[in-house]
Amino acid sequence: MAIGDDFSITGLDIRYIGAAHGITGAGYYTTIEFHRWLQDLADNISASGDDYMDITLNTPSDRSTDNIIALLNGYNIDDASSEHLYNGSIIQAGGDVIYDALQIISNPGTGLLIIQNGIVLTNDFWNETPFGASFSGLNPDTANGISHRFMLKVRTAGADIDGRRIVTATRDWGKSYSEFRVNGTGRGINVAALAYTDDVNNTTDIGTVAGWTAITNTEGYVELDIDGTLEPFYSEWDRDTLTVNDLYERTKWLSRYGTASTLYGLAGDLFRGVTHDVTVTADLGTFDAVEPVFWATGTGQMLAINSPTAPTRIWLQILTGTAPVAAQVIEGTTSGATADVVSTVERAIPTPFIGTSIGGAILAGYGVGITPLSLTKDDRLLDLNAVPRTPPNLVTFTVTNLLSGDTVTVGPSQASALDVDQFTLNGALTGAAVTSVVVNGAIPSDTPATGFIRIQRDSGRRLRTEYTSYTGSTFTIVSTDFSVDEAADANEVYIGYIDDVSAGTSMSFTTVYLAPRNLFVRVRRADPATAIKTFQQEVAVLGVAGGNVAITRISDL
């Protein structure tokens, strides 16, 4: 079809009248073609057909360049008509209304999401086929790597729409996520480059991932011990019994294009993560843990605050306007609380927001926290101070082939024997309520966080004592009476890595891997009906991948 068949002019209104998007025969024309058509009508000696245009009427358009066309003298297009023009800007109403061109550099079939003025635009005419189908970008130029060409309204009623700022993004299931910000469109063609390739770590059926509701998140400021100290994050994702790559896919599902999910009070496909880290001083009121916020030049969603009543830092995702600057006031929309801005740092955000999956591990995005017990040594986190955090290598040692009622002890091994003097006491233990035990030398970091130690009393007995934590050279123990049978300075102490009666078919302990450790394993059972000979393995190794001993059960009946 020719442009004159798809557009009509009635009075000053220029309107598209051709076939709709997605229907064979729908017409799309460049801005220079549009201008040439108008000028061709304007030089007619008299109007004809459904176009009220000829030499007697005011000039309808002016060309600055092939990519910048101004409609003059009240001539105008509407939003629906703009969807059928591309490759340039249309300026009308004396500059009070502007449509600017976007050109997307991406692979064929890219599904394009656009965020404008704090929302995801739902009229995605630039994707010719509906969400859920294979996309076909509008006016592609595949030979030159262009997936979409179209115009977007960026100014109306004499005011720029959010400063003509937009975010273009890809968030299709099974594909890489990416985004490109345009911080203020200009006249002519605005180019945005996006990655759109198969994601080899996002291959699970979407319906399966929809059912992974056991994966949860605690939203808001939280401190997690990833590598030995508490560090700040804006989330705590718990993958339950699923894999870390399952967590990656679940978060992609929650933030995919067209999702009905919400994250931190935002539509899932609008959520991007922390874009700005704002240092503040407290002013008035109590902030919510997560809430909309605003300041003189913009709006955002607060994702974390380090103290609701006396904050020094707020982390937010900007939605509209420009980032807060010193001396501005941030106010909570729902709480009404305020804080004075000291400074702001823009933070780089990954796509997807969770970070990068490498299959068996996650390289998490800025501030994304994950339950420590869900992590492995290959995972990497970046806390809200932008400090990289590497989890320790947690390893497990297991004794198997047990029966309920077996007595099991696993201790340190030295010279193929139980190392009963792994430590010695630094100070005597006396009194009726002892709660700490100090040993000579530092307690190694591969000691389980909680468990049992054996303390040699002056009578010679080795007291099994539960400890609840340790630091440096000190075990914190459950209150224990040493008033009758004391433990003298320099008496022997060792760790019972496993030191209990079995309740099932296996027993284990988990700890941080430090270096290969030799362990002594002993299992006994004297039950008259199921007695076994003592099982003993003098050297069993706890290595980088953990360790395992399957005991041999030899009847002692």
C-alpha to C-alpha distance for 119 and 115, rounded to whole angstroms: 5
Buried b (16+ CB within 10 A) or exposed e, 111-123: bbbbbbebebeee
Name the nearest CA neighbour of 542 among 492, 498, 476: 498
pLDDT at 88: 97
Strand partners, 70: 62, 91
Please count the residues of the chain: 557
Q: Are 87 and 67 in contact (CB under 8 A)?
A: yes
C-alpha to C-alpha distance for 545 and 133, rounded to whole angstroms: 45
Q: Are 200 and 171 in contact (CB under 8 A)?
A: no
C-alpha to C-alpha distance for 421 and 250, rounded to whole angstroms: 49
Token output for 109: 């079939």
User: Is 267 in a helix, a strand, or coil?
Assistant: strand
Q: Are 492 and 440 in contact (CB under 8 A)?
A: no
pLDDT digits (tens, 9 = 90+) for 435-453: 999 999 999 999 999 999 9
Q: Are 5 and 84 in contact (CB under 8 A)?
A: no
User: Is 143 in a helix, a strand, or coil?
Assistant: helix
Residue 275, amino acid: T
C-alpha to C-alpha distance for 388 and 365, rounded to whole angstroms: 10
C-alpha to C-alpha distance for 310 and 307, rounded to whole angstroms: 5
In what helix (H) or strand (E) does residue 82 lie, and over which residues does it extend? Answer: helix 79-82
C-alpha to C-alpha distance for 122 and 500, rounded to whole angstroms: 61
CA atoms within 13 A on the CB side of 52: 9
Terminal Cα distance for the chain, rounded:
97
Buried b (16+ CB within 10 A) or exposed e, 394-428: ebebbbeebeeebebbbbbbbeeebbbebbebeee
Token output for 335: 């709480």
Over the chain (557 residues), the average pLDDT of each successive run of 10 is: 90 94 90 94 68 74 96 97 98 98 95 96 84 70 95 98 98 96 97 96 97 98 93 97 97 96 98 98 94 98 97 98 97 97 97 96 97 90 97 93 97 96 97 97 95 97 96 97 96 98 97 94 95 97 95 95
pTM of the predicted protein model: 0.81
Residues 6+ apart with CB under 8 A from 296: 324, 328, 329
Name the nearest CA neighbour of 537 among 545, 547, 546, 549: 549
Bridge pairing between strands 85-86 and 29-30: parallel
Residues 6+ apart with CB under 8 A from 133: none
User: Is 350 in a helix, a strand, or coil?
Assistant: coil
Encode 364-409 in three state secondary structure: EEECCCECHHHCCCCCEEECCCCCEECCCCEEEEEEECCCCCCEEE
Strand partners, 179: 169
Find tokens 């530092």 and name the residue: 442
Phi and psi of 245, rounded to 5°? -70, -30
pLDDT at 130: 47
Name the nearest CA neighbour of 226 among 401, 59, 358, 390: 390
* DSSP labels, 425-440: BSS-B-SS-EEEEEBS
Q: Are 488 and 443 in contact (CB under 8 A)?
A: no
C-alpha to C-alpha distance for 519 and 413, rounded to whole angstroms: 5
